[in-house]
C-alpha cells in the first residue's frame, strides 16, 4: 500500500525534481540567479565639524558621524574594498541652520568642504550629494515654508543653487531627495546652463513618507526640529501607481537613474519599475531598516550577519543596480575575504 502510494506520487512528478540542483554547494552556485559584489554597494556617511572627531549615532549602533579628515580615511578604505560611491550627509551646526536654509548654497559649508577633501584624496570614488533643505533648515523640512505650507517652486530655485554649489565642490552625482514637483528638469537645466552637462542625476523618485527615517533624522540633527510630517511631498505607503507616475515624470525630466526609498518594504516598487521602464534603479536601505537588523541581532533574535547578507541579496534579486546601505563597508569586507 505504502509503496504503491509512493510510486503514484513519483509518477506524478514525471521525473521532475527541483531539489536535484540544490544537492551540493557547487551545484547551487552554478544556478544562482543573483550576484552581490562590492560594486553594488553605496555607502552613506554622516559628516560633522571638527578634526579627528567621531560621534556615535545611538539609534544606529556601528554608525558614526565623522569629521572630514576621518571621512577621507573612510573613503580610502571604501575605495580599496571596491565600493564605487559614497553618499554624504552633513550634520549642519545649529547656528548655521535657518528658516530658509541659506547655508545650503554657501560654497564653504560642511558638505562642500567634505566633497572637495574626499574628491582630492580619492578621485576615483563617486560622490553622491543629496539635494534637499532639511540639513539646513531650522524647521527640518526639505523645502521653504510659508506657515505650514511648503513652497514648491520657490524651493526648486534654491535646490538649483544647492546643486550647483555641490557640483562645484566635487559632487559627481546629484541626488534630489526633496520630492518637489519639477525639480529634476529644473536642476538639469540649471546644471547644463553652467556647463555641468555630465553630472549624473539620481532622483529619489519613489520616496515614501516613512517611519523608517527616524534614526537618520537623529544622525543629521533634523528630527528634533521637525514639526508634523512630510506627507505633502513624500508618497503615502498606500500608493504604487502614484510611485510609477513619479518615476515616469522624472525620466521625462531627464533623470539618469531613479531611486526607491525605503528599501525592503518597497521591493515591489523596485520590481515594477524594472518591468515598466528601462532605467537603472537604486534602492536605499534606510536608517530604520539598518537599526531593525542590528538591534534584533544584538537582542539575539536573529543572526545579524546572515540577515544583512540576505537583505542585500533581496535588493539585487528585485532588480536593483545598487543599494545605498549603512552595511556597505561591513559587507564589502566580507566579500573581499
Active site residues per annotation: 207, 261
Distance CA 325, CA 302 (A): 19
Query: Segment 267-296, which members bind ligand PBG (CB under 6 A)?
Result: 286-287
* Burial (0-12, 13-18, 19+ Cβ within 10 Å), 330: middle
- Cell numbers for 81, please give them: 574594498
Closest distance between ligand PBG and the C-beta of residue 92, in Å?
A: 12
Helix locations, 221-278, DSSP H: 241-252, 267-276
Based on the shown chain and the rule CB under 6 A, indicate whether residue 155 belongs to the binding site for ligand PBG. no
- Residues contacting ligand PBG: total by CB under 6 A: 12
Contact 290, 42 (CB under 8 A): no
Query: Segment 207-266, which members bind ligand PBG (CB under 6 A)?
Result: 213, 216-217, 230
Closest distance between ligand PBG and the C-beta of residue 134, in Å?
A: 5
Distance CA 59, CA 69 (A): 24
Distance CA 123, CA 114 (A): 13
Closest CB to ligand PBG: residue number: 216
Based on the shown chain and the rule CB under 6 A, indicate whether residue 142 belongs to the binding site for ligand PBG. yes
Give the nearer residue to ligand PBG in terms of CB position, either 76 or 98: 98
Closest distance between ligand PBG and the C-beta of residue 176, in Å?
A: 9
* Burial (0-12, 13-18, 19+ Cβ within 10 Å), 151: middle
Closest distance between ligand PBG and the C-beta of residue 124, in Å?
A: 25
- Cell numbers for 138, please give them: 531650522
- Cell numbers for 258, please give them: 531613479
Give the nearer residue to ligand PBG in terms of CB position, either 140 or 319: 140
CB half-sphere exposure, 134, CA atoms < 13 A: 28
Q: Write the CA distances from 138 to 39, 101, 247, integer angstroms.
A: 36, 7, 30
Closest distance between ligand PBG and the C-beta of residue 11, in Å?
A: 54
Give the nearer residue to ligand PBG in terms of CB position, either 76 or 239: 239
Based on the shown chain and the rule CB under 6 A, indicate whether residue 177 belongs to the binding site for ligand PBG. yes
Give the nearer residue to ligand PBG in terms of CB position, either 38 or 135: 135
Residues found near ligand PBG in the complex (CB under 6 A): 130, 132, 134, 142, 177-178, 213, 216-217, 230, 286-287
Amino acid at each position: 500500500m505504502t509503496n504503491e502510494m509512493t510510486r503514484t506520487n513519483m509518477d506524478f512528478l514525471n521525473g521532475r525534481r527541483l531539489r536535484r540542483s540544490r544537492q551540493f554547494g557547487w551545484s547551487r552556485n552554478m544556478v544562482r540567479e543573483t550576484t552581490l559584489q562590492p560594486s553594488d554597494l553605496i555607502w552613506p556617511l554622516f559628516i560633522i565639524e571638527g578634526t579627528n572627531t567621531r560621534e556615535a549615532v545611538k539609534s544606529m549602533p556601528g554608525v558614526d558621524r565623522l569629521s572630514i579628515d576621518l571621512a577621507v580615511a573612510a573613503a580610502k578604505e571604501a575605495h580599496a574594498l571596491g565600493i564605487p560611491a559614497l553618499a554624504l550627509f552633513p550634520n549642519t551646526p545649529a547656528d548655521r541652520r535657518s528658516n530658509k536654509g541659506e547655508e545650503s548654497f554657501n560654497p564653504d559649508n560642511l558638505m562642500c568642504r567634505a566633497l572637495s577633501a574626499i574628491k582630492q584624496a580619492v578621485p576615483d570614488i563617486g560622490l553622491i550629494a543629496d539635494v534637499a533643505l532639511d540639513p539646513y533648515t531650522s524647521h527640518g523640512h526639505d523645502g521653504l515654508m510659508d506657515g505650514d505650507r511648503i513652497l514648491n517652486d520657490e524651493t526648486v530655485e534654491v535646490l538649483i543653487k544647492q546643486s550647483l554649489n555641490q557640483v562645484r565642490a566635487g559632487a559627481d552625482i546629484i541626488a534630489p531627495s526633496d520630492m518637489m514637483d519639477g525639480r529634476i528638469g529644473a536642476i538639469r537645466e540649471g546644471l547644463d546652463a553652467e556647463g555641468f552637462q555630465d553630472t549624473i542625476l539620481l532622483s529619489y523618485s519613489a520616496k515614501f513618507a516613512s517611519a523608517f527615517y527616524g534614526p537618520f533624522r537623529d544622525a543629521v540633527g533634523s528630527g528634533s526640529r521637525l514639526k508634523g510630517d512630510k506627507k505633502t511631498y513624500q508618497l503615502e505607503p498606500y500608493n504604487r501607481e502614484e510611485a510609477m507616475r513619479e518615476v515616469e515624470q522624472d525620466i521625462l525630466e531627464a533623470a539618469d537613474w531613479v531611486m526607491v526609498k525605503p528599501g525592503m518594504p518597497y521591493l515591489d516598487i523596485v520590481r515594477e519599475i524594472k518591468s515598466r521602464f528601462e532605467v537603472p534603479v537604486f534602492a536605499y536601505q534606510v536608517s530604520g531598516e539598518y537599526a531593525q537588523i542590528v538591534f534584533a541581532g544584538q537582542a539575539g533574535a536573529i543572526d545579524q550577519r546572515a540577515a544583512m547578507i540576505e537583505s542585500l541579496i533581496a535588493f539585487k534579486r528585485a532588480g536593483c543596480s545598487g543599494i545605498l546601505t549603512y552595511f556597505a563597508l561591513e559587507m564589502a569586507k566580507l566579500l573581499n575575504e
